[in-house]
Chain A
Amino acid sequence: MVETNIRIVGYGERLYLDARRVQMRTSDAAPDLPEKACRLLRLNHGLAAVPHLSNGTPQLFVASPVPLSELVLGGDDWRVELHDVGQTRLYANDPRDVELMARLFERYLLVQLGQRTSMWTLDSPRIWYEAKPFQVEDGIAAIRRFHVSVVPVEGEGLGVVIHVSTAFFTIDTVADFFDESLPSEVQEQRQRRFEELSLRQRGQKGTLLYDLRRNQHKCHFEEVLSGVTCATTGPVPVNGTIYPSLHDYYERERPYAGIAADDPVARVSFPKRDRPRPVAANRLRLRVMNTALPKALKQVDKIPPNERTRLVDRFWNAVGEDLLSKGLKPGLWRPPVTKIVNLKGPTLLFGRGEKLPMPARSTTDALKAHFRSRLSKLNHAGCYHVPPALERQIVLAYPGRLDSAMVNEFADGVVKRLNQWTRKQLSIEALPYTNVTEAISELNSRAMGMVVFVFEGVEPETYYLLSAELKNRRIKRVTVSELISRYSQQSFIDMNALDVLEQLGCVPWTLATPLNYQAQLAIDVGVDRRYFALSLLVCRPESYQPSFWLDSLICPKPDSRRETIERDILRDQIVKLQAIASSSAGSR
Chain B
Amino acid sequence: MPEVIQLSLFDDAWIDTTEEAQIEWSYSRRQTLERCARQYYYDYYSAKAHLATTDPQKENIRFLSTLSNRYLRSGDILHIAIRLFYKHGDSSSEWLVDWARRTYRTDYEYSRAGGRPHPPDERYLPTMLLEFYYSQPNAEALYVESEERLVSALESFLTGPAYADARYGGQRSSAEVEEWVFVKTTAFNARGKVDLAFPQDGRLSIVDWKTGEAEAPTGSLQLAFYALWAVETKGYRPEDITLYRGQLMEGSLQPVALNERILPRVRARIVQDLEPMRVLDGYGRDAVVDAFPPCGFPKVCRLCPYQRICPGVTI
Is B29 engaged at the interface, CB distance under 8 Å to the other chain?
A: no
Distance of A222 Cα from B216 Cα, bound (Å): 14
Nearest-neighbor residue (CB-CB) of A76 within chain B = B299
The answer to whether A77 and B265 touch (CB under 8 A), given A276-B217, A558-B292, is no
Distance of A273 Cα from B218 Cα, bound (Å): 11
Q: Which residues of A contact B265 (CB under 8 A)?
A: 203, 459, 461
Nearest-neighbor residue (CB-CB) of A569 within chain B = B291
Distance of A390 Cα from B84 Cα, bound (Å): 65
Is A419 engaged at the interface, CB distance under 8 Å to the other chain?
A: no
Nearest-neighbor residue (CB-CB) of B35 within chain A = A561
Chain B 32-71: CB-based contact to A (< 8 A → 1; otherwise 0): 0110010000000000000000000000000000000000
- Determine if A562 and B293 form an interchain contact, defined as CB atoms under 8 angstroms apart: yes
Is A345 engaged at the interface, CB distance under 8 Å to the other chain?
A: no
Query: How many whole Å from A503's CB to the nearest CB in chain B?
Result: 20
Query: Interface stretch among B168-176, B190-198, B231-239, B268-276?
Result: B268-276
- Determine if A465 and B267 form an interchain contact, defined as CB atoms under 8 angstroms apart: yes
- Determine if B296 and A564 form an interchain contact, defined as CB atoms under 8 angstroms apart: no
Nearest-neighbor residue (CB-CB) of A205 within chain B = B218
Q: Which residues of A contact B217 (CB under 8 A)?
A: 269, 273-276
Is B261 engaged at the interface, CB distance under 8 Å to the other chain?
A: yes
Q: Which residues of B contact A222 (CB under 8 A)?
A: 218
- Determine if A555 and B279 form an interchain contact, defined as CB atoms under 8 angstroms apart: yes
B-contacting residues, A546-588, CB 8 Å: 555-562, 564, 566-569
Q: Which residues of A contact B215 (CB under 8 A)?
A: 274-275
Nearest-neighbor residue (CB-CB) of B252 within chain A = A234
- Determine if A469 and B186 form an interchain contact, defined as CB atoms under 8 angstroms apart: yes
Q: Which residues of B contact A276 (CB under 8 A)?
A: 217-218
- Determine if A559 and B272 form an interchain contact, defined as CB atoms under 8 angstroms apart: no
- Determine if B261 and A30 form an interchain contact, defined as CB atoms under 8 angstroms apart: no
- Determine if A28 and B271 form an interchain contact, defined as CB atoms under 8 angstroms apart: no
Q: Which residues of B contact A560 (CB under 8 A)?
A: 34
Is B314 engaged at the interface, CB distance under 8 Å to the other chain?
A: yes
Distance of A338 Cα from B295 Cα, bound (Å): 47
Chain B 294-315: CB-based contact to A (< 8 A → 1; otherwise 0): 0111110000000000000011
Q: Which residues of A contact B292 (CB under 8 A)?
A: 558-559, 566
Q: Which residues of A contact B186 (CB under 8 A)?
A: 444, 469
Distance of A17 Cα from B296 Cα, bound (Å): 34
Is B283 engaged at the interface, CB distance under 8 Å to the other chain?
A: yes
Distance of A462 Cα from B33 Cα, bound (Å): 25
Is A464 engaged at the interface, CB distance under 8 Å to the other chain?
A: yes
- Determine if A31 and B314 form an interchain contact, defined as CB atoms under 8 angstroms apart: yes
Residue in A28, A462, A556, A568 whose beta carbon sits within 8 Å of that of B288 in the complex: A568
- Determine if B33 and A459 form an interchain contact, defined as CB atoms under 8 angstroms apart: no
- Determine if B276 and A461 form an interchain contact, defined as CB atoms under 8 angstroms apart: no
Q: Which residues of B contact A569 (CB under 8 A)?
A: 279, 283, 291
Q: Which residues of A contact B314 (CB under 8 A)?
A: 28-31
Query: How many whole Å from A178's CB to the nearest CB in chain B?
Result: 14
Is B120 engaged at the interface, CB distance under 8 Å to the other chain?
A: no
- Determine if A28 and B267 form an interchain contact, defined as CB atoms under 8 angstroms apart: no
Chain B 247-280: CB-based contact to A (< 8 A → 1; otherwise 0): 0000000000100010011011101100110011
Distance of A475 Cα from B94 Cα, bound (Å): 61
The answer to whether A223 and B288 touch (CB under 8 A), given A558-B276, A561-B295, is no
Is B21 engaged at the interface, CB distance under 8 Å to the other chain?
A: no
A-contacting residues, B183-239, CB 8 Å: 186-187, 212, 214-218
- Determine if B264 and A459 form an interchain contact, defined as CB atoms under 8 angstroms apart: yes
B-contacting residues, A26-51, CB 8 Å: 28-31
- Determine if B264 and A566 form an interchain contact, defined as CB atoms under 8 angstroms apart: no
Query: How many whole Å from B276's CB to the nearest CB in chain A?
Result: 4
Query: How many whole Å from A435's CB to the nearest CB in chain B?
Result: 12
Is A201 engaged at the interface, CB distance under 8 Å to the other chain?
A: yes
- Determine if B187 and A465 form an interchain contact, defined as CB atoms under 8 angstroms apart: yes
Is A353 engaged at the interface, CB distance under 8 Å to the other chain?
A: no
Is B76 engaged at the interface, CB distance under 8 Å to the other chain?
A: no
Distance of A267 Cα from B284 Cα, bound (Å): 40
Nearest-neighbor residue (CB-CB) of A269 within chain B = B217
- Determine if A461 and B268 form an interchain contact, defined as CB atoms under 8 angstroms apart: yes
Residue in B37, B214, B261, B264 whose beta carbon sits within 8 Å of that of A558 in the complex: B37
Interface size of B by CB at 8 A reads 37
Q: Which residues of A contact B279 (CB under 8 A)?
A: 555-556, 558, 569
Is B290 engaged at the interface, CB distance under 8 Å to the other chain?
A: yes
Is A468 engaged at the interface, CB distance under 8 Å to the other chain?
A: yes
Distance of A561 Cα from B276 Cα, bound (Å): 14
Q: Which residues of A contact B297 (CB under 8 A)?
A: 30, 561
Distance of A556 Cα from B288 Cα, bound (Å): 17
Distance of A30 Cα from B279 Cα, bound (Å): 29
Is A460 engaged at the interface, CB distance under 8 Å to the other chain?
A: yes
Distance of A223 Cα from B259 Cα, bound (Å): 14
Distance of A564 Cα from B37 Cα, bound (Å): 13
Q: Which residues of A contact B264 (CB under 8 A)?
A: 459, 461-462, 465
- Determine if A465 and B268 form an interchain contact, defined as CB atoms under 8 angstroms apart: yes
Nearest-neighbor residue (CB-CB) of B279 within chain A = A556
Distance of A222 Cα from B218 Cα, bound (Å): 8
Distance of A274 Cα from B218 Cα, bound (Å): 8
Q: Which residues of B contact A269 (CB under 8 A)?
A: 217-218
Query: How many whole Å from A174's CB to the nearest CB in chain B?
Result: 16
Q: Which residues of B contact A557 (CB under 8 A)?
A: 276
Q: Which residues of A contact B257 (CB under 8 A)?
A: 223
- Determine if A464 and B272 form an interchain contact, defined as CB atoms under 8 angstroms apart: yes
- Determine if A566 and B293 form an interchain contact, defined as CB atoms under 8 angstroms apart: yes
Query: How many whole Å from B210's CB to the nearest CB in chain A?
Result: 10
Q: Which residues of B contact A564 (CB under 8 A)?
A: 293
Q: Which residues of B contact A568 (CB under 8 A)?
A: 283, 288, 290-291
Distance of A372 Cα from B43 Cα, bound (Å): 56
Q: Which residues of B contact A203 (CB under 8 A)?
A: 265
- Determine if A465 and B276 form an interchain contact, defined as CB atoms under 8 angstroms apart: no
B-contacting residues, A280-332, CB 8 Å: none
Chain A 364-387: CB-based contact to B (< 8 A → 1; otherwise 0): 000000000000000000000000
The answer to whether A459 and B261 touch (CB under 8 A), given A468-B187, A569-B291, is yes
- Determine if A559 and B275 form an interchain contact, defined as CB atoms under 8 angstroms apart: no
Q: Which residues of B contact A444 (CB under 8 A)?
A: 186
Q: Which residues of A contact B275 (CB under 8 A)?
A: 556
Query: How many whole Å from A479's CB to the nearest CB in chain B?
Result: 15
- Determine if A28 and B293 form an interchain contact, defined as CB atoms under 8 angstroms apart: no
Distance of A568 Cα from B291 Cα, bound (Å): 6
Q: Which residues of B contact A28 (CB under 8 A)?
A: 298, 314-315
Residue in B33, B271, B280 whose beta carbon sits within 8 Å of that of A464 in the complex: B271
Distance of A81 Cα from B270 Cα, bound (Å): 45
Q: Which residues of B contact A562 (CB under 8 A)?
A: 293
A-contacting residues, B4-41, CB 8 Å: 33-34, 37
- Determine if B293 and A559 form an interchain contact, defined as CB atoms under 8 angstroms apart: yes
Q: Which residues of A contact B291 (CB under 8 A)?
A: 558, 566, 568-569
B-contacting residues, A431-464, CB 8 Å: 444, 459-462, 464
Distance of A308 Cα from B160 Cα, bound (Å): 62
Q: Tell me the B residues contacting A by CB distance below 8 Å.
A: 33-34, 37, 186-187, 212, 214-218, 257, 261, 264-265, 267-269, 271-272, 275-276, 279-280, 283, 288, 290-293, 295-299, 314-315
Sorted from nearest, which 9 A-B pairs have the closest CB atoms?
A: A461-B268, A556-B275, A556-B276, A558-B276, A468-B271, A461-B264, A464-B268, A568-B291, A559-B37
Q: Supply 12 further A-B pairs (C-beta < 8 A) apart from A29-B315, A464-B268, A559-B37.
A: A28-B314, A30-B297, A30-B298, A276-B217, A459-B265, A465-B187, A556-B276, A558-B276, A559-B295, A566-B291, A567-B290, A568-B291
* A to B CB contacts below 8 Å, 25 in the list: A28-B298, A28-B314, A29-B315, A203-B265, A269-B218, A274-B216, A444-B186, A459-B264, A460-B268, A461-B267, A462-B264, A465-B268, A468-B187, A468-B268, A555-B279, A556-B279, A557-B276, A558-B279, A561-B297, A562-B293, A564-B293, A567-B290, A568-B283, A568-B288, A569-B291
